[in-house]
Structure 1
Amino acid sequence: MSTQNRRARALIFTADDFGLHERVNAAVERAHREGVLDCASLMVAAPAAAEAVAHARRTPGLRVGLHLVLADGAAMLPRARIPALVDAHGRFGAAMVRDGVRFFFLPHVRAQLALEIRAQFEAFAATGLVLDHVNTHKHFHLHPTVLSLILEIGRDYGLRAMRLPNEAGAPLALRPWLARVRARLARAGIAHNDYVVGIANSGAMDEAAMLEALANLPAQGVGEIYCHPALAGEEAITPSMRHYRHADEFAALVSPRVAAALAHCGIRTGGFADVFYGADPIDSARAARPNGEAGA
C-alpha cells in the first residue's frame, strides 16, 4: 500500500512499554498469539528489554517498533554523556513542560538529546529486529525539537512509520499542532495512522472500551488502538502506573468478544509495515540497519 493511500480502511493494535517488566513481555507475546495484538513498542533501556527481544524473536509475526523514552524512564546512555537530561540514577524526569523548554532553547541540551535519541535507535538496530514504527513515551514527539531529531536521526535506521496521537475529542488548542505534525510527517515521507484510540482511556482499555472503539470506527482511514497490557501481579509495574489496569487490558486483547467484533468490522489489520507497505520482512530488516550494514 502506498504511503499516499492513507484513506484505505485499516486498524493496528499496539502494546506500548514492551520491555518494561517481565509481566508486560509475557502479556505481549500471549496477546499476539492468542488475541488481536499486531505490534509492540520496545523500550530499549527498560529493565526487561533483553527478555522482550527474546519474546519477539520467537514470535516472528509480532511487529516491533521503538518506543523512545525521553521522560519518566531510564536513558540508554550513561549520565556522564547526558548530564543535562537525567538525574543521578540515569533517569529522565516527568517535568515535560520544563524539559521541553530546555530542549528548544538550550543548544547543549539539544545536543545531548540528539545523542540519546541516536543511542536508542542504535540499541534497537542492535537487536536485529525489523523496525516497524517509532513512537515516544508520553507522546513527547509532539514537541517540535524532539520530532525534528527523530526524523533526522531515524533516516539512518530505516524509519518509515510513526504514531500520530490524533484522538477524537482532542482539545481544540491541540488540533492545529496535530495538523502541523501530520504535515511534517507527510513532507518527510513517513507513514502514520490517521487517528488513534487509547489516550483518553490510557491504562483502562478494557473489553468494554475496545468494543466501543470497534463499534465506532470511522468509515475510512488507518486507525491505531494502543494499550499497556501486562499479566496480573501483586506489585505495580511502576509507581507512576499504579492506577493502570494492565490485566484488564490484556484480557481485552485476548477476548473472544473483541476478536468477533473485529472480524465483524471486515477491516484490514496488521503492523504499520503491513498496512502501509506490505514490505517483505527481509527487505525491512535490511533497511533498518544503519548504512546498509549486513546483519549477523
Structure 2
Amino acid sequence: MSHVGLTLAFALAAASSTMNLAERLGYDADTRLLIVHADDVGLSHGVNVATAEAVETGSVSSFSVMAPAPWLPEIAALCRDNPDWDVGVHLALTSEWKRYRWGSVASAADVPGLLDDDGYMYKDIVSVALRAKPEEVERELRAQIDRVIALGIDPTHLDTHMGAVYARPEFFEVYYRLGVEYGIPVMVSSPTGPAIARAQAEGYPIDDRYLDIVRNGPLPAIDELITGVANDELDARTQDYRDVIRGLPAGVTQIIVHLATDSAETRAITSAWRRRHNDYRIFTDPAMAQFLDEQNVKLVGWRDLHALIAE
C-alpha cells in the first residue's frame, strides 16, 4: 500500500466507533481481557511441542511463528491441521544466539544491510538500525509474511522479534503499513505516557511520527503489553505471573511468554532454557487456568482483534 493509501486508511479509522477495545470485542468496558502470547515458535522442535500443548490444553491463547527459523515447516504442518489456532508472524530482523543462526528469507543480494559478514542476521538491534535501509526491511518483512502464508497459515497478526521494527521510525512505518496492506493487525500497544516512557528508557526512538500512526491508524492497538517477568525459578516465576494477572487493568493486555521443553536441544540453543521451560510448565498447569478464572480474567486472541478490521 502506498503512503497515500495509508493516509486514506487513517481517515476511515477516524470515523470508527468511539467504544473502547473491550466494548468493540463485545464485552463490558471494565472487563479484563488477556492474550497469553507465545513467541519464537518454529525456533526448535522443543518450542513447537511445548507451544502446541499449551495452546491445546493450557492457557496460551495465541502465538507467532518465525519465518527464517529452521523448524517452521513442522509448526506450519501442525497449524494446517489445527486451523482454529490463533497464529501470527513473528517478524525477525535479528538472530541473537551464538551458535544458532539464520539468514534472511529474501535473497541476500536484495537485503545486504540486514546481514553480517557470515551471511546471518545481526545479533543485536543497534546493528540493524545502523546498517539496514527501510526498503531492505520492507523486502524482508514482506518475504517472511509471504512464506508463512505460502505454508498454509492465515495469520491473525504480525509482531516483532526483539522489538527490532521499533529500532527506527522508518522501520515501524514499514511494519504498520504492511499490516494495513495485508489486512492483518500488528502487535502494538496504546501509546500511554507510562508505555512511552518504558519504551524510551529501553532505547526505542518513540517520536511524533510513531505516535501519529498508532493513534490515528486503522489497526486496533491493545491496551497494555507485558514483555516478561523477572524471576527464572519456577515458584518465583509463577508468583510473578500471578502478581501481574492480579493487577491487570480493564481492557486488553498481552503477556508475552516463551515456551520450550527441557531438552539437550533447548539447552544448546539458549542459556535461558530454564526460563522457557518454566513458562511451559506454568502455562500448561491447570492451576493457571483456574487462577485466571478466579480472577475473572477472560482469555482472548488476536483473531478477535482481526475481526475488528472488517468493521
TM-score range with shorter-chain normalisation? Answer: 0.7 to 0.9
Is 2:194 aligned against 1:170?
A: no
Moved more, 184-193 or 39-48: 184-193
The alpha-carbon deviation at position 111 of structure 1 amounts to 2.3
More helix by percentage: 2
The alpha-carbon deviation at position 88 of structure 1 amounts to 4.8
C-alpha RMSD over aligned residues: 3.1
Contact in 2 for aligned 1:163/1:192 (Cα 8 Å): yes
- What TM-score do the two structures reach when normalised by structure 2? 0.77
**2:143 partner letter:** A
Contact in 2 for aligned 1:133/1:163 (Cα 8 Å): no
Specify the alignment match of 1:12 in structure 2: 35
Unmatched tracts of structure 1, length 5 or more? 104-108, 284-296
**1:216 partner letter:** G
Specify the alignment match of 1:134 in structure 2: 158
The alpha-carbon deviation at position 250 of structure 1 amounts to 0.3
CA change 1:178–1:234 in 2 (3 A) is farther
Contact in 1 for aligned 2:55/2:61 (Cα 8 Å): yes
Is 2:292 aligned against 1:262?
A: yes
- Taking the aligned partners of 1:179 and 1:195, their CA distance within structure 2 comes to 20
1:235 is paired with a residue of what secondary structure? helix
- Taking the aligned partners of 2:230 and 2:212, their CA distance within structure 1 comes to 26
- Taking the aligned partners of 1:4 and 1:202, their CA distance within structure 2 comes to 37
Contact in 2 for aligned 1:121/1:154 (Cα 8 Å): no
Contact in 2 for aligned 1:29/1:56 (Cα 8 Å): no
State how 1:32-181 maps to structure 2 within 5 Å. 32-72=55-95, 73-103=102-132, 109-143=133-167, 144-164=169-189, 170=198, 173=201, 177=206, 181=210
Share of identical aligned residues, percent? 26
Unmatched tracts of structure 2, length 5 or more? 1-15, 23-28, 96-101
Specify the alignment match of 2:246 in structure 1: 215
Contact in 2 for aligned 1:29/1:59 (Cα 8 Å): no
- What TM-score do the two structures reach when normalised by structure 1? 0.80
Would you identify which runs of 4 or more consecutive aligned residues in structure 1 move more than 6 Å? 165-169, 202-205
The alpha-carbon deviation at position 265 of structure 1 amounts to 2.2
Is 2:271 aligned against 1:242?
A: yes
Instruction: State the number of aligned residues.
Output: 273
Contact in 2 for aligned 1:11/1:222 (Cα 8 Å): yes
Moved more, 80-89 or 222-231: 80-89
